[in-house]
A and B are shown apart, each in its own frame.
Chain A
């Protein structure tokens, strides 16, 4: 969602996060560059039974579409796995963390409608 950080920088941040959390970094996966693509993410979720979880660079790399994003989060929870977000230092593993991360997403999507300068201009 309007976030763009070079891939090699994302990898450094993810590796550093794994190292600090004492997690084994298995394999890097890169999403296709097409707008709103979540093909690779869905594949990763499909492969989740064989690994402990996913570490993404940021919460805001998840699908912007609520239904699709929530469906991915629900799949993670159903499989009793975890999805981590390195930049934010947050991870989703139960209903509370699901709600927390969804709240952040909804606030982020609402903020463009709370533009202070726009209010002043009007």
Chain B
């Protein structure tokens, strides 16, 4: 039995077959507010557009700057709700409407030719994430080719998983070489949001484009789905607890003794 609507089925099929969906940000004001915050932070380094951040930030000072931005943006009480609203209608369909959200939102800044902040190929599930989680990836600039991230589609990810014993003696670069012809490079513009299956191997490479990438990421999962190393409380927080759950969690049978 399946009572999903046509639109829900379209989104579901896309996510299952492709490993990701890209849709228009559901709340433009929230998106613009987040981007403006990043631009304001960059203005401390001389300003300019986010795309041209490499003209004001050196690779040596990048990580300290990135950590400053993460700290300040996560200190904004509006941030996580704004972030959620950008993806809400899609999360409702893909994950559910009673959700746990990662306590901190991450930021990635990839300067052109910077090899100091790369994410080698990995699936989050390989290092303690529950397969019930998705990643909401939010570009603050247009992302394409090596300015973006890559993802191995589910079918190829299954092949890799079945043949993984062939790769266990190697390293992550060799693993990437084994899958590089099969990965999808995500093309996504500012104004759109990406939700991907973090159980599919993904990562990034040296940004060979002439612009800086700014993207944010945050994990969401069904509140009452299994957790792995990333626990409720220390990593995830409930954000849309529903009334029946609130009542039920506190329900006690009548006392008879």
Give the B-binding residues of A (Cβ under 8 A).
Answer: 58-60, 66, 85, 87-90, 100, 103-104, 106-111, 114-117
Overall SS of chain A's interface: helix
B125 at the interface (CB under 8 A from A): no
B233 at the interface (CB under 8 A from A): yes
Contacts A107-B238, A110-B249; A59 near B225 (Cβ below 8 A): no
- Mask for B202-231, Cβ within 8 A of A = 1, else 0? 000000000000000000000111110000
- Of A85, A90, A104, most B-chain CB atoms within 10 Å: A104
Q: A107 is contacted by which of B223, B226, B234 (Cβ under 8 Å)?
A: B223
Residues in A with CB closer than 8 Å to B67 are none
Contact indicator A88/B226 (Cβ below 8 Å) = no
Residues in B with CB closer than 8 Å to A107 are 100, 223-224, 232, 238, 241, 249
Contacts A89-B103, A103-B238; A111 near B233 (Cβ below 8 A): no
Question: In this complex, what residue of B is CB-closest to A104?
Answer: B233
Contact indicator B234/A114 (Cβ below 8 Å) = no
Residues in B with CB closer than 8 Å to A104 are 232-233, 237-238
Contact indicator B225/A116 (Cβ below 8 Å) = yes
Nearest CB on A from B98, distance (A): 10
B250 at the interface (CB under 8 A from A): yes
- Mask for B242-257, Cβ within 8 A of A = 1, else 0? 0001101110000000
Question: In this complex, what residue of A is CB-closest to B227?
Answer: A111
- The 21 listed contacts between A and B (C-beta, < 8 Å) are A85-B233, A88-B233, A89-B234, A90-B233, A100-B237, A100-B238, A103-B238, A103-B241, A103-B246, A104-B232, A104-B233, A104-B238, A106-B246, A106-B249, A107-B224, A107-B232, A110-B249, A111-B232, A114-B226, A116-B225, A117-B226
Residues in B with CB closer than 8 Å to A106 are 246, 249-250
Question: In this complex, what residue of B is CB-closest to A110?
Answer: B249
**In the bound complex, how far is the Cα of B1 from the Cα of A22, in angstroms?**
56
